[in-house]
Structure 1
């Protein structure tokens, strides 16, 4: 009985392993390279980026600036300024950095 089960299992494995592999289909159209907007960071924007990364990441995962519009960032930044206890100068620097990435 055991030998019949083992023989059937071996035959099954052999048949499965002998199956043909399908080659990946070629894409219908070549992928379009996405243009990424890169902004040269001035010293002021670099400072805003540093403040954003160091202050905001203390409490939560950093959000991608492009995830929200400029209008959506407004209330978020106001709320976070109070929680992070940042002065207006630091907050302006962070806001300028966020807006430069949109």
Structure 2
């Protein structure tokens, strides 16, 4: 009985050791789609920070992709005035929103 168990175990070990290795295949992005960097530049990170901290004081934040660039422009102008943001802050927020579209 011991001999059968040892033989079976040895056979399984040999079969496992001889099996082919599977390699991971990297997915390629669809044609025409750009890969966006997950890390933001310091300027874009500042715009994101301003967007999250100033806009969320009064209402929920919208995903940048919810609107087009043309739709965002009047929204940002109107909200920038209400939030009393200066031109530099508005440019930073606008650049962040545009980078996410």
| TM-score, length of structure 1 as denominator length | 0.63
Distance 1:55 1:37 in 2: 29
Structure 2 unaligned regions, length at least 5: 1-29
Match of 1:100 in 2: 99
- Alpha carbons of 1:57 and 1:41: their partners in 2 closer, same or farther (altered >3 Å)? same
Match of 1:61 in 2: 60
- Alpha carbons of 1:87 and 1:68: their partners in 2 closer, same or farther (altered >3 Å)? same
How many residue pairs match? The answer is 70
Distance 1:87 1:60 in 2: 20
Structure 1 residue runs of 4 or more that deviate by more than 4 Å after TM superposition:
34-37
Aligned ranges for residues 3-82 of structure 1 at < 5 Å?
A: 38-39=36-37, 40-82=39-81
User: Could you tell me how far 1:38 is from its partner in structure 2?
Assistant: 3.5
Structure 1 unaligned regions, length at least 5: 1-33
Match of 1:91 in 2: 90
User: Could you tell me how far 1:52 is from its partner in structure 2?
Assistant: 0.2
- Alpha carbons of 1:98 and 1:37: their partners in 2 closer, same or farther (altered >3 Å)? farther
| TM-score, length of structure 2 as denominator length | 0.64
- CA-based RMSD of the aligned residues comes to 1.9
